[in-house]
Structure formats: structure tokens, C-alpha cells
Amino acid sequence: MKLMKRLLKKNNRGLSLVELICAIAILGLATSAIGGAMVVSAKHYRRDSAEFEVQQEAQTTTNLVGDLIVDSTYAEWVPGDDKLKITNNGIDYEIYMDDTTLKYFDGTNTGVLAEYVEDFEVVVPTDFEKDKNVKVNLSIKKNAKEYK
């Protein structure tokens, strides 16, 4: 009790230089640990979102091509032109690559199915009327992420 009274009478206000340096060092360590965790998290997020974007693009493209093929009465892969010809509900479609863009043409309009396409090939069975089991090979590459 006497010690407490003596300490209170001395008028100890503020921090000593050693206490201040220790507090700054502890704060620096905590800040660097939190900052490091945030940098790693941001890096993983960018990598995963780029991979997801490529996968989503490939899936959407194959779904669009598949939807056209399902109701088609005619389908033919033209190997020399790397072009898929489809007749769907009386409309003739052509799906082809233009540089790294996969496009379609329906006789009047041209549209984009996918970008960053590295490879597009379709295997159509010889008897398409009976066997509509079409194999689509699609490879999309964006920002060093590739999905086949």
C-alpha cells in the first residue's frame, strides 16, 4: 500500500522511451502480419477468379453450341475451313473461328460466342439424324489460364 502511494505521488505521466519503442515494434509486427495475409488473399482471389472466368466462358460456349445442335436436323464439320454447319428450325448456322474469337453466322447476323479461343473442333457422327452424339473440343486461354 505504501508503495502504491509513493508511485502515485511521483506524478508519472506518459510513457518512457523504452515503452514507446516496444509499443511501436509490436504494432509494426501486427501490421506486417495482417498486410501479408491480405496480399496473399488478394493474389489467390485474382488467380481463382481468372480461372473461374475461363471455365465459365468455356461452359457457356459449349452450352450454346449444344443447344443449337440438340434441335438441329443437319450438322457437318468442315475440316478445311474449321467450320461447323448446322440447320436448326430452318435456319442455317455456321460456327467458326476468327483469329481467337469463336463466332456464329445465321444467314443475316454475325455474333460472338466466345473470345480467347485457342482451339475449336467438332466431331459429328456420320449418321447425324440417328446419332446426335456430337463431340465439341474447345480450348480457351486467357491470362495464362487455359481450360479445355
Q: Which of 120, 94, 119 is nearest to 109 (CA)?
A: 94
* Ordered per-residue pLDDT tens for the chain, 148 residues: 565 566 556 666 667 888 889 989 999 999 999 999 999 988 888 777 777 887 888 888 888 888 888 888 888 888 777 788 888 888 888 888 888 888 888 888 888 888 888 888 888 887 777 777 788 888 888 777 777 7
128 phi and psi angles, rounded to 5 deg: -65, -35
**Per-residue pLDDT, 25:** 93
pLDDT at 126: 78
In this prediction, residue 93 carries a pLDDT of 87
pLDDT reported for residue 29: 93
pLDDT of residue 7: 56
pLDDT at site 30: 92
pLDDT at res. 5? 63
Whole-prediction pTM: 0.64
What is the Cα 128 distance to its own chain's centre? 34
